Structure 1
């Protein structure tokens, strides 16, 4: 049964991510925006005042500094990171409805950056819009997880096999610190910390192919595969995370040795077992 986060104190995100300081109202931000320095003028290609043909400057000297927009973007990014962490840890529960005002109050910000972050999560498939209520966390099952693993394998296995044949062994040695970082993250038992280090390792491996679009698509699929399933465990145990992280070190050794058979088996097994 769905519950609205706006109407219940129990539907907030307990301890989800860093608390973001409340932002000043627009009028307060405007009063705090410094005026352009004296003598600063916009100049056109001819070195003049900037009034090129077809433009009407009406005596304007410069554009206002975009500080409020930068701050707002920064807050939105922090909220998005916090919400992603809450998804991975299960603090944002599948099937639950959360309102932007209630989450904004929890984070100490207005509803606007929360709503914008939630809309981004909707584009990523993590939540769906519930008119006049907020955002519902998508309910996922084992079938979707299996489908994600299959698509990831279709994309990444051929790339890793090609890299195993072409990338020098020393390049794989350079990635060992990232693999070891996943082991430390797994030892902490924190699912969110491990999820971030896991993506960093896979992103670095795929980056060697030189295809930024492929890396972006693969990371999106990877992030989706890290969201918890409904009804069952919202987090894997520390032993499971450690076993998953150990496969990164084994994979690097196989890649460095150019053993394509081992690489293919490891990657497929890794995707099927990771969650």
Structure 2
């Protein structure tokens, strides 16, 4: 196993806050902060597919007891990002090409009507904070700042989908996205289409503000198609579970 470390695992300020006796950041529990930090480490390749790790080593890295780390890792198991290995800890997994294909089919069925429904009722006030995220996504893409691109992209899709008002639907869609991000983000960056992908976020919001539901559908489909092309390119180059 590669010992985790570096900017991604430290990004949540979790270690600093806990050592100072401060509260969890942004109202999150300690477990939620660890989940977030590990998720970014997986997305950014610091814990790549096929990598093995153990709860005690992660707990030492974070400077916390094993209990919240174990709870956090089990959350990641539920999200399909890692699997438990009997007596050997855990392993980061990449979804198979067949899973990615089926997941994209489900996403099409869910996301297109969801985006259209949101566009039919969304207000400019609701769009404004999400537009700021879209602007940040484009800026990070142009600067080649993949870490912050990932963070802003995650928040953009979570907030936008959340406007549907159905938390279960939002969580299902985000779960499908999360499993694909293990290979999608590095692939998009490697294919050199990250700026084009970033611009699609702004195009989607513009179509929503204009109440152009057909344009919303076209942009959503184009965004998903571009993502899937990256997934197909990446699926052959990562270890499968």
**Residue matched to 2:234:** none
Q: Indicate yes or no: 2:112 matched with 1:157.
A: yes
Aligned with 1:20 (options 11, 15, 18): 15
**Distance across 2 between alignment mates of 1:216 and 1:123:** 12
> 2:235 maps to what in 1?
none
Which ranges of structure 1 fall in alignment gaps of 5 or more residues? 6-10, 25-66
Within a 5 Å distance, the mapping from 1:1-275 to structure 2 comes to 5=1, 11-15=2-6, 16-18=8-10, 20=15, 74-168=29-123, 171-172=126-127, 175-228=130-183, 236-237=189-190, 239-274=192-227
The CA deviation at 1:259 is: 2.1
* Conservation of the 8 A alpha-carbon contact between 2:95 and 2:180: no
Q: The residue matched to 2:91 in structure 1 has which SS?
A: strand
Q: Where is the helix percentage greater, Structure 1 or Structure 2?
A: 2
TM-score in terms of structure 2 length: 0.77
- Secondary structure of the corresponding residue to residue 136 of structure 1: strand
- Tell me the distance in 1 between the aligned counterparts of 2:117 and 2:175: 22
Which whole-Å CA distance do the structure 1 matches of 2:16 and 2:127 have between them? 41
CA, structure 1 residues 89+261, in 2 after alignment: closer, same or farther (shift >3 Å)?
same
Cα separation, partners in 2 of 1:216 and 1:132, compared to 1, 3 Å = same
Q: CA RMSD in A?
A: 3.2
- 1:103 to partner: Cα distance: 2.2
Cα deviation per residue 1:134-185 (whole Å; 9 max; x = unaligned)? 0011132333333322222211111222233343566545642221122123
Distance 1:112 1:208, change over 3 A: closer
Structure with bigger RCO (C-alpha 8 Å, 6+ apart): 2
Taking the aligned partners of 1:13 and 1:83, their CA distance within structure 2 comes to 9
Task: Identify if the C-alpha distance between structure 1 residues 144 and 191 changes in structure 2 by more than 3 Å, giving closer, same or farther.
Answer: farther
